[in-house]
Amino acid sequence: MFLTETSIFPSFFDPFNDTKKKKNKKDVAHMQLDLFSHSFDESLLRRLKTLANSSSTSQPSVGINLSWLSSALDFLFFAHEEAIILLSSLNLDNSLDFYLDNSVKILDLCNSISSEIERFRNRRLVLSFALLVLNNGSVDPEKLARARVSLSDWVNYYKGPVLDSNNHLENIARDLATRLKEIPRGKISADERFVRRTIKAVGLVTVFVAGVVVTALRGSPGLVVAVRAPPEFLWAEPFNSLCASVSTRPDKKRYLLDELDEIEARIKEVSGVMDGGSGENGERPSSAVKELEMVTGRLGEGLERLGDGVNEIFNSVLRTRDGMLEKMRVGQQEQRSDARKFSSNLHSKHVLCNVQK
C-alpha cells in the first residue's frame, strides 16, 4: 500500500477549482438577475394595483375618463424609467438591436397619439365656437344656425370610429404586439434573457395603454389592440383583469371615454333649448349651456395633461436610445483603437526582429 500526500491548499492550477469558481460566479450573477426581475415585477404590481383600483375602473358601471388615461400614461412612464435603470447597468450586446427596433415603434406610437390628441383639440374648437355664440346671447339667426351646425358636427363626427386613411396608428400598435410574441432563436445568456424579459414587460404595458388611449380618443367601438401577459410575470393576473375590464364597456355607454358621453348628452340638452327657444318661464335657460361649458373646460384640461404624459414617455425613450447609441459608438471606437494598438505592436515587433537579424 502506498500513501499519497494530499495538499490541504487549493491549487491555482487545479482545473476543477477554476470550474467551481466560475460556476459560483455564474450562480451569483443568476441570483442577482432573479432579484432584479422580482423587484421590477413587484414595483409594476404595486403601480398596477393603484391604477386598477382607481375610481374610473373600480366599478363596472363606470367608464374611463381623461384623468384615468393620464394616470395610465404615468404608469407607463414609470415602467419605462424603471426598465431604463435596470438595462443601463447591463451589457446589451445582442439585445441592443432588439431594443432599438422596438423603441422606434414606441416613438412612432407616441407621435401618432400626439396627433390624435391634437385632432381632439381641434374638434374642441367646434364646441368653443358654439359656446361663444350662446354665451354672448346672440339673436342673429345666421350665428345661431352656425352654432347649431357646429354642435351637430361634433355628434356626427363620432357616430362611427374615426380612423386615419391608412390605419397607421393601429398598424404600429399591432406590429409592436406581434414583436412581443417573437421568441429569440438560439441559445442566449442569462443577461440577454433578463433584458428581453424586461423589454417584453414594458412592451406589454405600452401596447395596452396606447390601445386604450387611442380607442378612447377616437370613439372606436372596441379596443384597437388587445394584449395578454403570460403567467411568468408576477403582475400578469391583475394586468389581464384590467385589460378585460377596460374591454367591457358599461351598459348604456356609447363611448369608452366618459367625457364623450357627457358632452353628447349636454349637446342634446343645449340643442333642445335652441330648438325650443325658451324654458318653462318663457326665458332661455342658461344652465344647459353652462354645463356644456364646464365639460368642455374639463376636456381641455384633460387633453393638456394627456399630451404632457405622452411627451414625457417620448423624451424618456429618446434619451435612452441616444444613450445606448452613444455607448455603442464609444465601444466601436475603443475596439478600433485596440485594433490599431494591436497592429502597431505587431509592426513594432516585426521591425525589432528585422533589426536584431
pLDDT in tens, 238-263: 999 998 888 776 666 778 888 888 89
pLDDT value of residue 306 = 94
Residue 224 is assigned to a structural domain of this protein: yes
pLDDT in tens, 186-195: 577 777 778 8
pLDDT, average across residues 161-187:
65
Residue 352 is assigned to a structural domain of this protein: no
Residue 357 C-alpha cell reads as: 537579424
pLDDT in tens, 265-312: 899 888 887 776 544 443 445 788 889 999 999 999 999 999 999 999
175 or 208: which leads in pLDDT: 208
Q: CA dist 124 to 46, 121, 210, 336, Å? A: 35, 5, 21, 56
Residue 331 is assigned to a structural domain of this protein: no
pLDDT value of residue 315 = 93
Residue 339 is assigned to a structural domain of this protein: no
Residue 241 is assigned to a structural domain of this protein: yes
316 or 174: which leads in pLDDT: 316
pLDDT value of residue 194 = 82
Which of the four pLDDT bands, split at 50, 70 and 90, describes residue 7? Answer: very low
Report how many domains make up the chain: 1
- pTM, whole model, 2 decimals? 0.78
pLDDT in tens, 140-153: 788 888 888 888 88
Phi, psi (rounded to 5 degrees) for 144: -65, -40
Percent of the residues in the chain that have a pLDDT greater than 90, as a whole number:
16
25 or 148: which leads in pLDDT: 148
pLDDT value of residue 10 = 44
For the ranges 48-52, 132-136, 205-209, 265-269, the lowest mean pLDDT is seen at 132-136
Q: Which distant-in-sequence residues (6+ apart) come within 8 Å of 54 by Cβ? A: 68, 71
Residue 103 is assigned to a structural domain of this protein: yes
Which of the four pLDDT bands, split at 50, 70 and 90, describes residue 66? Answer: very high
Residue 111 C-alpha cell reads as: 407621435
Residue 165 predicted with pLDDT over 50:
no
Which of the four pLDDT bands, split at 50, 70 and 90, describes residue 137? Answer: confident
Q: How many CB atoms lie within 10 A of CB 342?
A: 10
For the ranges 33-47, 155-169, 264-278, the lowest mean pLDDT is seen at 155-169
Please give the Cα distance from 198 to 28 (Å, whole number): 20
pLDDT value of residue 352 = 45
pLDDT, average across residues 1-23:
45
Q: Which distant-in-sequence residues (6+ apart) come within 8 Å of 128 by Cβ? A: 296
Q: Chain-wide mean pLDDT for the chain?
A: 75
10 Å CB burial of residue 86 (0-12, 13-18, 19+) is middle
Which of the four pLDDT bands, split at 50, 70 and 90, describes residue 185? Answer: low
- The residue segments making up the domain with residue 267 are 32-52+62-317
pLDDT value of residue 26 = 58
Q: How many CB atoms lie within 10 A of CB 6?
A: 5
Alpha carbon of residue 279 to chain centroid: 48
pLDDT, average across residues 131-144:
80
pLDDT, average across residues 214-240:
84
Percent of the residues in the chain that have a pLDDT greater than 70, as a whole number:
68
Rg of the chain over Cα atoms, rounded to whole angstroms, equals 30
Residue 261 is assigned to a structural domain of this protein: yes
pLDDT value of residue 257 = 86
Please give the Cα distance from 325 to 328 (Å, whole number): 5
Which of the four pLDDT bands, split at 50, 70 and 90, describes residue 4? Answer: very low
10 Å CB burial of residue 300 (0-12, 13-18, 19+) is middle
pLDDT value of residue 3 = 43
Residue 349 predicted with pLDDT over 50:
no
Determine contact, residues 199/99, Cβ cutoff 8 Å. yes
Residue 22 C-alpha cell reads as: 466560475
Residue 324 C-alpha cell reads as: 445606448
Residue 221 is assigned to a structural domain of this protein: yes
Determine contact, residues 172/151, Cβ cutoff 8 Å. no
